[in-house]
Homo-oligomer: A and B are copies of this chain.
Amino acid sequence: MVLVLLTVLRFSIEKTDTRARLGRLVLPHGTVCTPCFMPVGTQGSVKTLTPAEVVESGAEIIVCNTYHLYLRPGYKRVQAAGGLAKFIGWSRPILTDSGGFQVYSLAALTRVTDEGAEFQSHVDGSRHLFTPELVVEIQEALGSDIAMCLDECPPYSVSRPVAEAAVARTSLWAERCSRARQPDTNLFGIVQGATYADLRETSAKSLVALDLPGYAIGGLCLGEASDVTYDMVGRVVPLLPVDRPRYLMGAGYPEDIIAAVRLGIDMFDCVLPTRNGRTGTAFTSAGRVAIRNSRYADDPAMLDLMCDCYTCRGFTRAYLRHLFVVGEALGPKLLTLHNVRFYQRLMQNIRAAVERGAFDRWSSEFLDRYRPGAEPAGNESDR
């Protein structure tokens, strides 16, 4: 299938249920039903899964990362290979994160000025400068269906002056990104402001003035209390144009996604299903299952009786635990496969509930069954 990347996104709201929205997002590589969850394929691979398995999960769009792909294999190499989708064997839409978050969290950060973010590679220590213009150029070279503005993303707990400066710089950079982009590049702005409600509002308003194809809320889901997250989202959403997709970056747990859909969010991404799958925690309709637990050593049950994934069709908890205990790669793979499917079923159920005007009832029934369990044991990162 050859698709020419010359279409700006079309977004239509099919149905609303209070503030929850059922939408259709038409992108150059295909159509995405929203609210959607985008599995994370940071370095051009949703960890442990083949592209065919990601398609099988029901995912219609994935997230890749500008910072990582810029360092390895290099964006010009990917461009020469025909673009990111072709390079990684994924024929559906891709959203690329701008790399702002990674510059702050992974790289040895040397200096941020209004010009851009100068950093040292976490791979080899080489020095690089990300400007708003370069970040747009990279994402256009990758052929991203949705590109993100370069933003300054400080920790949620920063002081007001730091948050204020980050908001100002994020707005300045968004304007430069917007000027630099090709007309057909689907560039999303990123609202910052840490946990200061008025700064969030300032940030949202200045980005909306740029009339971008979509808007994200960044700098949340980084460790702050959930009610703070929801409070910030609840204040920002009403300021965003109703006809543009809204993306809450980095959320999250099923309960967070449900809360954010209720506030009017359309798009989500998070490393939880993949990272927790790799480290031995499964999401199930009854809550989280830490599969290494010795209670599962003789458990003949499947992970989740409500699930239709390959893992839940053929493997007992006892076998899955065995794979983790002996260190077989198939364990992380089978749990990731399940978790990614779990998140897609979650979104399918959310969409079906909004469709029939029953989102509140559905979500309280879901949350009645779903008990958040033990935290994952590992601390591996895939951002």
A77 contacts which chain B residues (CB < 8 A)? Answer: 297-298, 318
- Which of A99-107, A222-230, A309-317, A346-354 contacts its partner? A309-317
Query: Is A24's CB within 8 Å of the partner chain B?
Result: no
Question: In the complex, are the beta carbons of A297 and B328 less than 8 A apart?
Answer: no
Question: In the complex, are the beta carbons of B80 and A325 less than 8 A apart?
Answer: no
The residue on B at minimum CB distance from A315 is B89
Query: Is A259's CB within 8 Å of the partner chain B?
Result: no
In the docked arrangement, what's the CA distance between A323 and B43, Å? Answer: 8
Chain A 317-349 interface residues, beta-carbon cutoff 8 Å to B: 318-319, 321-323, 325-326, 328-330, 332-334
The residue on B at minimum CB distance from A323 is B45
Question: In the complex, are the beta carbons of A333 and B329 less than 8 A apart?
Answer: yes
Query: Is A52's CB within 8 Å of the partner chain B?
Result: yes
Query: Is A88's CB within 8 Å of the partner chain B?
Result: yes
A39 to chain B, nearest CB (A): 13
Contact partner of A72 (CB less than 8 A), chosen from B68, B73, B300, B325, is: B325
- With most chain B CB atoms within 10 A of its CB, the pick from A47, A49, A50, A330 is A330
Question: In the complex, are the beta carbons of A89 and B314 less than 8 A apart?
Answer: yes
Query: Is A273's CB within 8 Å of the partner chain B?
Result: no
A53 to chain B, nearest CB (A): 9
In the docked arrangement, what's the CA distance between A330 and B53, Å? Answer: 12
Query: Is A366's CB within 8 Å of the partner chain B?
Result: no
Question: In the complex, are the beta carbons of A316 and B81 less than 8 A apart?
Answer: yes
In the docked arrangement, what's the CA distance between A139 and B203, Å? Answer: 67
Chain A 45-60 interface residues, beta-carbon cutoff 8 Å to B: 45, 47-52
In the docked arrangement, what's the CA distance between A106 and B45, Å? Answer: 35
If A81-B300, A298-B81, A329-B332 touch, does A319 touch B44 (CB 8 Å cutoff)? yes
A91 to chain B, nearest CB (A): 10
Question: In the complex, are the beta carbons of A48 and B318 less than 8 A apart?
Answer: no
What are 21 A-B interface contacts by the 8 Å CB criterion?
A43-B328, A44-B319, A45-B329, A45-B330, A47-B329, A48-B329, A48-B333, A49-B330, A50-B310, A50-B330, A50-B334, A68-B326, A72-B325, A73-B318, A73-B322, A73-B325, A77-B297, A80-B298, A81-B316, A81-B319, A329-B333
- Please list the 4 inter-chain residue pairs (A to B) with the smallest Cβ-Cβ separation, ordered nearest first: A89-B314, A45-B328, A45-B330, A73-B322
A interface with B by C-beta (< 8 Å)? 43-45, 47-52, 68, 72-73, 77, 80-81, 87-89, 297-298, 300, 310, 314-316, 318-319, 321-323, 325-326, 328-330, 332-334
Given contacts A47-B328, A48-B333, A73-B297, 14 further A-B contacts (CB under 8 A): A43-B322, A45-B328, A45-B329, A45-B330, A47-B330, A50-B330, A50-B333, A72-B325, A77-B297, A77-B318, A81-B298, A81-B318, A89-B314, A329-B333
